[in-house]
Amino acid sequence: MRSLSDVRDVPCACPRDRAPDADRALLAHLLGFVLPDARATRLAETLIAERGSYPRVLTSAPSMLIKLGVPPKGLDILATVAQSLERALFRELTHGNVITGWQALNDYLHVSLGHSRREHFRVLFLNSRNALITDEEMGVGTVNQAPVYVREVIHRALDVGATALILIHNHPSGDPTPSRDDIQLTNHVRDAARVLGLQLHDHVVVSESGIKSFKTLGLL
Protein backbone atom coordinates (compact mmCIF):
# COMPACT_ATOMS: atom_id res chain seq x y z
CA MET A 1 0.00 0.00 0.00
CA ARG A 2 1.12 3.55 -0.71
CA SER A 3 1.56 6.62 1.45
CA LEU A 4 0.80 10.26 0.72
CA SER A 5 4.45 10.85 -0.12
CA ASP A 6 3.97 8.71 -3.24
CA VAL A 7 1.43 11.08 -4.81
CA ARG A 8 4.08 12.93 -6.80
CA ASP A 9 4.96 9.68 -8.62
CA VAL A 10 1.54 9.04 -10.11
CA PRO A 11 1.27 9.43 -13.91
CA CYS A 12 -0.75 12.43 -15.07
CA ALA A 13 -4.20 11.60 -16.47
CA CYS A 14 -5.14 15.15 -17.40
CA PRO A 15 -7.52 16.04 -20.28
CA ARG A 16 -4.63 16.06 -22.78
CA ASP A 17 -3.72 12.48 -21.79
CA ARG A 18 -6.78 10.34 -22.33
CA ALA A 19 -4.93 7.05 -22.70
CA PRO A 20 -6.70 4.24 -20.83
CA ASP A 21 -3.34 3.14 -19.40
CA ALA A 22 -2.93 6.50 -17.67
CA ASP A 23 -6.47 6.27 -16.26
CA ARG A 24 -5.85 2.78 -14.94
CA ALA A 25 -2.56 3.86 -13.40
CA LEU A 26 -4.18 6.81 -11.63
CA LEU A 27 -7.06 4.69 -10.33
CA ALA A 28 -4.66 1.98 -9.18
CA HIS A 29 -2.63 4.63 -7.38
CA LEU A 30 -5.69 5.81 -5.48
CA LEU A 31 -6.71 2.27 -4.56
CA GLY A 32 -3.12 1.62 -3.50
CA PHE A 33 -3.72 3.70 -0.39
CA VAL A 34 -5.95 0.90 0.95
CA LEU A 35 -4.84 -2.20 -0.98
CA PRO A 36 -1.54 -3.87 -1.82
CA ASP A 37 -0.21 -2.68 -5.17
CA ALA A 38 -0.93 -5.88 -7.10
CA ARG A 39 -4.55 -6.03 -5.89
CA ALA A 40 -5.02 -2.31 -6.55
CA THR A 41 -3.81 -2.73 -10.12
CA ARG A 42 -6.11 -5.68 -10.79
CA LEU A 43 -9.08 -3.92 -9.24
CA ALA A 44 -8.44 -0.76 -11.26
CA GLU A 45 -8.45 -2.82 -14.46
CA THR A 46 -11.70 -4.51 -13.42
CA LEU A 47 -13.42 -1.26 -12.50
CA ILE A 48 -12.59 0.51 -15.75
CA ALA A 49 -13.51 -2.57 -17.79
CA GLU A 50 -16.87 -2.91 -16.02
CA ARG A 51 -17.80 0.78 -15.80
CA GLY A 52 -16.29 1.88 -19.12
CA SER A 53 -14.12 4.82 -18.04
CA TYR A 54 -12.32 6.43 -15.12
CA PRO A 55 -14.93 9.22 -14.73
CA ARG A 56 -17.72 6.64 -14.64
CA VAL A 57 -15.89 4.77 -11.89
CA LEU A 58 -15.72 7.97 -9.82
CA THR A 59 -19.43 8.66 -10.31
CA SER A 60 -20.66 5.09 -9.81
CA ALA A 61 -23.04 4.23 -6.98
CA PRO A 62 -21.25 2.93 -3.85
CA SER A 63 -23.28 -0.29 -4.01
CA MET A 64 -21.95 -0.94 -7.52
CA LEU A 65 -18.35 -0.30 -6.47
CA ILE A 66 -18.67 -2.59 -3.45
CA LYS A 67 -20.06 -5.32 -5.69
CA LEU A 68 -17.01 -4.95 -7.92
CA GLY A 69 -14.64 -5.30 -4.98
CA VAL A 70 -13.86 -1.80 -3.71
CA PRO A 71 -13.36 -1.85 0.10
CA PRO A 72 -15.13 0.75 2.28
CA LYS A 73 -12.01 2.89 2.71
CA GLY A 74 -11.54 2.82 -1.06
CA LEU A 75 -15.07 4.18 -1.46
CA ASP A 76 -14.13 7.10 0.75
CA ILE A 77 -11.07 7.90 -1.36
CA LEU A 78 -12.92 7.76 -4.68
CA ALA A 79 -15.79 9.85 -3.32
CA THR A 80 -13.35 12.44 -2.00
CA VAL A 81 -11.63 12.71 -5.38
CA ALA A 82 -14.94 13.08 -7.22
CA GLN A 83 -16.31 15.65 -4.77
CA SER A 84 -13.07 17.63 -4.74
CA LEU A 85 -13.04 17.87 -8.52
CA GLU A 86 -16.68 18.95 -8.67
CA ARG A 87 -16.17 21.54 -5.92
CA ALA A 88 -13.07 22.98 -7.60
CA LEU A 89 -14.90 23.34 -10.92
CA PHE A 90 -17.91 24.87 -9.16
CA ARG A 91 -15.63 27.48 -7.54
CA GLU A 92 -14.28 28.38 -10.97
CA LEU A 93 -17.85 28.83 -12.18
CA THR A 94 -18.78 31.21 -9.36
CA HIS A 95 -15.87 33.59 -9.88
CA GLY A 96 -17.41 35.66 -12.66
CA ASN A 97 -19.88 35.96 -15.49
CA VAL A 98 -21.34 32.54 -16.21
CA ILE A 99 -22.26 33.48 -19.76
CA THR A 100 -18.71 34.39 -20.74
CA GLY A 101 -17.20 31.47 -18.81
CA TRP A 102 -18.55 28.76 -21.08
CA GLN A 103 -15.59 26.42 -20.66
CA ALA A 104 -15.86 26.54 -16.86
CA LEU A 105 -19.58 25.76 -17.13
CA ASN A 106 -18.93 22.96 -19.60
CA ASP A 107 -16.31 21.33 -17.35
CA TYR A 108 -18.45 21.62 -14.22
CA LEU A 109 -21.56 20.15 -15.84
CA HIS A 110 -19.70 17.29 -17.48
CA VAL A 111 -18.19 16.22 -14.16
CA SER A 112 -21.35 16.69 -12.09
CA LEU A 113 -23.90 15.27 -14.55
CA GLY A 114 -22.25 13.70 -17.57
CA HIS A 115 -21.96 10.20 -16.15
CA SER A 116 -25.18 9.97 -14.17
CA ARG A 117 -27.42 7.01 -15.00
CA ARG A 118 -30.58 8.92 -14.04
CA GLU A 119 -31.94 12.10 -15.58
CA HIS A 120 -31.58 15.26 -13.51
CA PHE A 121 -33.08 18.67 -14.21
CA ARG A 122 -31.26 21.66 -12.72
CA VAL A 123 -31.44 25.42 -13.03
CA LEU A 124 -28.67 27.98 -12.69
CA PHE A 125 -30.19 31.17 -11.28
CA LEU A 126 -28.23 34.30 -12.22
CA ASN A 127 -28.26 37.92 -11.09
CA SER A 128 -28.22 41.04 -13.28
CA ARG A 129 -24.45 40.66 -13.82
CA ASN A 130 -24.95 37.03 -14.89
CA ALA A 131 -23.13 35.84 -11.78
CA LEU A 132 -24.38 32.61 -10.24
CA ILE A 133 -26.80 32.99 -7.33
CA THR A 134 -27.48 29.29 -6.91
CA ASP A 135 -27.46 26.00 -8.78
CA GLU A 136 -30.52 23.98 -7.79
CA GLU A 137 -31.90 20.60 -8.73
CA MET A 138 -35.56 20.88 -9.69
CA GLY A 139 -36.28 17.27 -10.61
CA VAL A 140 -34.81 13.76 -10.64
CA GLY A 141 -36.28 11.00 -12.73
CA THR A 142 -35.64 7.73 -14.51
CA VAL A 143 -33.13 6.91 -17.20
CA ASN A 144 -34.94 9.08 -19.73
CA GLN A 145 -37.25 11.51 -17.94
CA ALA A 146 -37.19 13.93 -15.02
CA PRO A 147 -40.36 15.72 -13.83
CA VAL A 148 -40.23 19.47 -14.45
CA TYR A 149 -42.83 22.07 -13.52
CA VAL A 150 -42.50 25.44 -15.20
CA ARG A 151 -44.35 27.21 -12.38
CA GLU A 152 -41.86 25.92 -9.80
CA VAL A 153 -38.89 27.09 -11.86
CA ILE A 154 -40.29 30.60 -12.23
CA HIS A 155 -41.41 30.77 -8.60
CA ARG A 156 -37.94 29.79 -7.41
CA ALA A 157 -36.33 32.39 -9.66
CA LEU A 158 -38.43 35.09 -8.02
CA ASP A 159 -37.66 33.71 -4.55
CA VAL A 160 -33.89 33.99 -5.00
CA GLY A 161 -34.02 37.34 -6.82
CA ALA A 162 -32.76 36.00 -10.14
CA THR A 163 -33.02 38.00 -13.34
CA ALA A 164 -31.86 35.23 -15.68
CA LEU A 165 -31.83 31.43 -15.93
CA ILE A 166 -29.91 28.62 -17.54
CA LEU A 167 -31.72 25.29 -17.72
CA ILE A 168 -29.62 22.15 -17.38
CA HIS A 169 -30.48 18.49 -17.78
CA ASN A 170 -28.65 15.31 -18.70
CA HIS A 171 -29.31 12.48 -21.12
CA PRO A 172 -28.15 9.15 -19.58
CA SER A 173 -28.44 7.61 -23.07
CA GLY A 174 -25.18 9.36 -23.99
CA ASP A 175 -26.68 11.46 -26.80
CA PRO A 176 -27.00 15.16 -25.87
CA THR A 177 -29.24 16.01 -28.83
CA PRO A 178 -32.34 17.87 -27.54
CA SER A 179 -35.59 15.93 -27.87
CA ARG A 180 -38.93 17.32 -28.99
CA ASP A 181 -40.05 17.37 -25.34
CA ASP A 182 -36.88 19.27 -24.37
CA ILE A 183 -37.64 21.92 -26.96
CA GLN A 184 -41.28 22.22 -25.90
CA LEU A 185 -40.35 22.59 -22.23
CA THR A 186 -37.75 25.22 -23.06
CA ASN A 187 -40.29 27.25 -24.99
CA HIS A 188 -42.75 27.09 -22.08
CA VAL A 189 -40.12 28.27 -19.59
CA ARG A 190 -38.92 31.03 -21.93
CA ASP A 191 -42.46 32.36 -22.46
CA ALA A 192 -43.33 32.27 -18.75
CA ALA A 193 -40.04 33.92 -17.80
CA ARG A 194 -40.45 36.67 -20.37
CA VAL A 195 -43.80 37.72 -18.90
CA LEU A 196 -42.09 38.40 -15.56
CA GLY A 197 -39.02 40.10 -17.00
CA LEU A 198 -36.72 37.10 -16.59
CA GLN A 199 -34.33 36.07 -19.33
CA LEU A 200 -33.70 32.47 -20.31
CA HIS A 201 -30.11 32.49 -21.53
CA ASP A 202 -29.78 28.86 -22.52
CA HIS A 203 -30.78 25.26 -22.01
CA VAL A 204 -27.79 22.92 -21.84
CA VAL A 205 -28.09 19.17 -22.38
CA VAL A 206 -25.29 17.12 -20.83
CA SER A 207 -24.22 13.57 -21.63
CA GLU A 208 -21.18 11.37 -21.36
CA SER A 209 -20.29 12.07 -24.99
CA GLY A 210 -20.59 15.84 -24.80
CA ILE A 211 -22.76 18.89 -24.26
CA LYS A 212 -25.28 20.66 -26.50
CA SER A 213 -26.44 24.25 -26.05
CA PHE A 214 -29.86 25.41 -27.26
CA LYS A 215 -28.35 28.85 -27.91
CA THR A 216 -25.57 27.43 -30.05
CA LEU A 217 -28.02 25.21 -31.93
CA GLY A 218 -30.23 28.20 -32.71
CA LEU A 219 -33.13 26.84 -30.64
CA LEU A 220 -33.24 29.93 -28.39
According to the model, what pLDDT value does residue 9 have?
46
Closest of 77, 47, 72 to residue 60, by C-alpha? 47
* 10-31 per-position pLDDT tens digit: 444 444 445 578 889 999 999 9
| CA gap 85, 87 in Å, rounded | 5
Q: What is the mean pLDDT of residues 99-122?
A: 84
* 113-161 per-position pLDDT tens digit: 887 888 999 999 999 999 999 999 998 875 455 567 899 999 999 999 9
* 194-209 per-position pLDDT tens digit: 999 999 999 999 988 8
* 41-99 per-position pLDDT tens digit: 999 999 999 888 887 788 777 888 999 999 999 999 998 988 888 888 888 777 778 88
According to the model, what pLDDT value does residue 4 have?
43
Number of other CB atoms surrounding residue 151 within 10 Å: 9
Residue 3 scores a pLDDT above 50: no
